[in-house]
Amino acid sequence: MAEIEKKPGDGLAADIEVVASASQTSAAGRIRNYFLTGLVVAGPLLITAYLSWSFINWVDDLVRPFIPAAYRPETYLPWPIPGTGLVIAFFALTLLGFLTANLVGRTLVELGESLLNRMPIVRPVYKTMKQIFETLFSKTGSSFRKVALAEFPAPGMWSLVFISQPPGGDIADRLPGGEHVSCFLPCTPNPTTGFFFFVPRDRLIELDIGVESAMTLIMSAGMVQPGADAQKKLASLAATAKAAQAAKSPVIAK
């Protein structure tokens, strides 16, 4: 422990002033640490709750117009029940999937698709959306299953990309060089926007990390690194804070 230096002739009044100042600094440091700890604990919870609540309200507002007023809970209760539309949408989609799996359901779906395919403007939109949803929710698809590094936007600068389906048809025949893959480079902090391009497979460096970890890295702008143990980091920070607090504890020289 370091001793507090005093000037000759300061006396007891100076000792009391130094101890009071150190105590205030220590108290302010503890309050700051407590505040940051509470922020770390409450921040993710509040943001998750807000996003979940917004999604539930969005689904409720989307489903509510299709429910007759006589069957809505708020008709008989003084307040609406959040999540009702989400539950109804879940059962409706499950029932639709069950009916589509049957012969009659498949026949109706094929009939509806044949009608949509005859509409000039609706046809390309529907086909594109169907291919995207089938690719995203397919268990055997390989879309966004691998993460790699691509030299972008300049030589010596590397960016995280998600490897998608390889190009096919006329695109694959006209691309120069060897095998190419489709890559999507999301932007920070909004990963829904980015760049899409074809790149030779040998120009990529595949990484052994998951898509979720890479997405977290992109959204946090590198602040959350993949493979880092949050509990170990918090324990290390706590140990460092305790050591700093012990080092700054005042000891009055006798």
161: in domain: yes
Instruction: Assess if residue 12 is contained within a domain.
Output: no
Does 241 score more than 80 pLDDT? no
Within a domain: residue 169? yes
Q: How many domains does the chain have?
A: 1
C-alpha to C-alpha distance for 231 and 48, rounded to whole angstroms: 20
Share of the chain above pLDDT 90, in %: 3
Q: Within 10 A of 199 (CB to CB), how many other CB atoms are there?
A: 20
pLDDT in tens, 70-119: 888 878 888 778 888 888 889 988 888 888 877 777 788 788 888 888 88
8 Å CB contact between 249 and 30:
no
Would you state the pLDDT for residue 50? 92
Range of the domain at 178: 146-219
Residue 45 in any domain: the answer is: no
Tell me which of 125-139, 155-169, 176-190, 227-241 is least confident.
227-241
pTM value?
0.54
120-162: pLDDT as tens digits: 888 888 877 777 676 666 655 545 678 888 888 888 888 888 8
Q: Give the pLDDT score at 249.
A: 57
- The larger pLDDT score, comparing residue 76 to residue 241, is at 76
